[in-house]
A = this chain, B = another copy of it.
Amino acid sequence: MNAPTLTERLAASVEAAAHLAHASLDERAALLRSLAQGLELESENLIAIAAAETALGIERLRGELARTAFQLRFFADIVSDGAFLQATVDHADPAWPPAPRPDLRSVRQPFGPVLVFAGGNFPFAFSVLGGDTASALAAGCPVLVKAHPGHPRLSIAVARTAREVARQAGFPAGVLDLVHDEAEGRAALQHPAIKAAAFTGSLRGGRALYDLACARPGPIPFYGELGSLNPVFVTPRAARSRAQEIAAGFRASFTQGVGQFCTKPGLLVVPREMDLDVFAHGLSDTPPAPMLTDRIAEVFTTRVDELLDAPGLSVLVHGKSDGARSAAPTLLATTVSDALSLPEVLLTEAFGPSSLIATYRDEQEALALARGIEGQLTATVFAAQDDDPVAARLIPALAERAGRVIVGGWPTGVAVTWAMQHGGPYPASTADGSTSVGARAIDRFLRTVAYQSVPDALLPAALREANPLGIARRVDGIAEGSTS
C-alpha cells in the first residue's frame, strides 16, 4: 500500500476537524488524558529511542516526558473548565444606545487543522505531543506535525501511539498526523486546509515560514517561537553580596543540556568592578558533549568563531569539540558599549553552550542595554535581597522587551501554569501577545463567532439560555462563575 499523499492526509485532517468540533468538552478532555496515559505506558520504549537519537540523557528525558504528560492533562482540565470558550451572552435590550440591541451571543470555536513544526531540543515537550499539539487539540483543532529531523524515529513512535489512542477513544486517526520532508512541510503550510501554524526553532527558519504563511492567498496566523538571548542583569548590590552564588547558577544554566534551550542565558550583564574569573571557574574542565544533530553542532561552531572574531572581545573559556557533533562550554566577555556597537553579532542568540558577559560602567549604561536589546523570551535581574533601586528601574524597562521577567532565578525552567508566558516581541516570537507554554496557549487556535437572534435550540450548547454546560460566562456584561 502506498503512503497517503499530503492531499489525502489533509483531507483526513479536515474530516477530523469536524469530528473534534462536534465532540463534547468531556470527550475532548478524555482524549487529552488518554494521550498522556499512552505516552506514559510507552515511556520506557520512547525514552530509549529519544536517548539514542538526541543524546539528551535518560534522566532529562524522563523528566521531559513527565512534563509532557502533565501538560496534556493540564489542557484537559482547561477544556473541562470551559472558561476558555469565553461564552458571552447579551440579551436583547430595547433601551441599548444608540439603537435597540438584538440578542447577541458569542463563543470561541476551533480554527481547523493546525500545522505544528516540532522543535529539536525538547523531543517530547515541544515535539509531536508537545505544547503546541496539546493546546491545538484542546482548542478542538487536529494537528499535522512536521517532524524535527533530529528525532525522526521518536516522532514516528509517538505519532503511532497517539493515533492508536485516538482511534481507541473513538476519534478518527486524522486528529494527528506526521510529515517528515521539508518540502512537504512548506507545501502543507501553503495548503488551504491548514488554518494556523505553530513553530519552535531558529530565527532564520521561522522567519522563512512566517513569510510563506503571510504570502498565502488567504493568510493564516503563524505562531513562531524563534529563540532569544535571555539577558541576565546583575545589579551592583547583588554583585557585591552574591557573586559566588550567581556565578555557580549561571554556569549551570548556560551549559545545561549542552546549552540547547531557547531560554539559555546568552548574555550576563555585570558591573565592571566584578572579577570575571568567578564565572569561568571550573568551566574548562567540562568535557565536550554531543549536541542534538551534526548540523546544530556545526552551526554552533561557526557562530562561536564569529563571536571570537569580534573586536575587543576577551576569551574566558574556549571549549573545543572532540568530534563532529560535540561542543564544550565557551565563555566570552566584552563591554556593554562594545556590545551595543555590534548588536547583530554580539546581541543575538548562539544556540549551544556559550555565553557572553558584558560589563557596564554605571546604571545608565545597564539601562541603555535593557532598552536597546531586541525582543526576548525572558529577561532576568539579580538584585540585593532588600530594596534595590537599580532593579526597580530595570524591571519595567525589561517588561517592554521580554515575555517573562525573572528576579533572582534562572530562565531555563519554563513551568506549565496559568500565568506562564513563553513568547515575546519579535524576534523572540512572530506573535507577541501569544504564548506557546501555559494555559493561554489554547487561545492561539480559537476564533470567535457571534450568534444574533438565533433560536435557543440552534445555538451551540455553550450559549444556550440554561447554560447546560455549566461553564463560566459573561452575561449582559457581568461575569458569572461556573456551576459545575
User: Is A221's beta carbon under 8 Å from chain B?
Assistant: yes
A97→B70 contact, CB < 8 A: yes
User: Is A405's beta carbon under 8 Å from chain B?
Assistant: yes
A106→B419 contact, CB < 8 A: yes
User: Is A1's beta carbon under 8 Å from chain B?
Assistant: no
User: Is A355's beta carbon under 8 Å from chain B?
Assistant: no
Contacts of A106 in B (CB 8 A): 419-421
B405→A477 contact, CB < 8 A: no
Residue of chain B at shortest CB distance from A448: B421
Contacts of A392 in B (CB 8 A): 458
Contacts of A419 in B (CB 8 A): 88-90, 104-106, 450
Contacts of A86 in B (CB 8 A): 440
User: Is A126's beta carbon under 8 Å from chain B?
Assistant: no
Contacts of A482 in B (CB 8 A): 479
Contacts of A432 in B (CB 8 A): 111, 447
User: Is A296's beta carbon under 8 Å from chain B?
Assistant: no
B453→A408 contact, CB < 8 A: yes
A448→B472 contact, CB < 8 A: no
A102→B409 contact, CB < 8 A: yes
A409→B452 contact, CB < 8 A: yes
A418→B70 contact, CB < 8 A: no
User: Is A406's beta carbon under 8 Å from chain B?
Assistant: yes
Contacts of A430 in B (CB 8 A): 219
B420→A450 contact, CB < 8 A: yes
**Contacting residue for A98 out of B67, B453, B476, CB 8 A:** B67
A98 to B124, CA, bound (A): 14
Interface flags for A396-436 (1: CB within 8 Å of B; 0: not) read 00011011111111000101011111010111001111010
Contacts of A453 in B (CB 8 A): 406-409
A374 to B214, CA, bound (A): 17
Known contacts A415-B104, A418-B88; A448 and B452 CB within 8 A of each other: no
A101 to B453, CA, bound (A): 46
Number of interface residues of A (CB under 8 A): 79
CB distance from A50 to the nearest CB of B (A): 16
**Contacting residue for A63 out of B89, B99, B111, B474, CB 8 A:** B99
A96→B421 contact, CB < 8 A: no
Interface flags for A60-83 (1: CB within 8 Å of B; 0: not) read 000100110010000001000001
Contacts of A452 in B (CB 8 A): 404-407, 409
User: Is A300's beta carbon under 8 Å from chain B?
Assistant: no
User: Is A109's beta carbon under 8 Å from chain B?
Assistant: yes
CB distance from A118 to the nearest CB of B (A): 20
A479→B474 contact, CB < 8 A: no
User: Is A41's beta carbon under 8 Å from chain B?
Assistant: no
Known contacts A427-B218, A433-B446, A453-B407; A101 and B458 CB within 8 A of each other: no
User: Is A375's beta carbon under 8 Å from chain B?
Assistant: yes
**Contacting residue for A391 out of B83, B404, B458, B477, CB 8 A:** B458
User: Is A451's beta carbon under 8 Å from chain B?
Assistant: yes
B99→A417 contact, CB < 8 A: no
User: Is A210's beta carbon under 8 Å from chain B?
Assistant: yes
User: Is A455's beta carbon under 8 Å from chain B?
Assistant: yes
Residue of chain B at shortest CB distance from A103: B419
User: Is A342's beta carbon under 8 Å from chain B?
Assistant: no
Contacts of A425 in B (CB 8 A): 218, 447
User: Is A481's beta carbon under 8 Å from chain B?
Assistant: yes
Known contacts A407-B455, A432-B111, A435-B448; A426 and B104 CB within 8 A of each other: no
User: Is A3's beta carbon under 8 Å from chain B?
Assistant: no
Residue of chain B at shortest CB distance from A99: B413
* B-facing residues in A208-254 (Cβ within 8 Å): 210-211, 214-215, 218-219, 221
* Residue positions of A touching B, CB distance < 8 A: 63, 66-67, 70, 77, 83, 86, 88-90, 96-99, 101-102, 104-106, 109, 111-112, 210-211, 214-215, 218-219, 221, 374-375, 391-392, 395, 399-400, 402-409, 413, 415, 417-421, 423, 425-427, 430-433, 435, 440, 446-455, 458, 472, 474, 476-477, 479, 481-482
A-B contact pairs, 14 of them (CB 8 A): A63-B98, A67-B97, A90-B418, A99-B413, A99-B415, A210-B214, A214-B215, A214-B219, A218-B427, A391-B458, A404-B449, A405-B449, A423-B448, A433-B446
A102-B413, A219-B426, A407-B458 given; 18 more Cβ-contact pairs under 8 Å: A67-B97, A67-B99, A96-B415, A111-B432, A218-B374, A218-B425, A391-B458, A395-B458, A399-B449, A405-B454, A406-B453, A407-B452, A407-B455, A418-B474, A418-B477, A421-B450, A440-B448, A479-B481
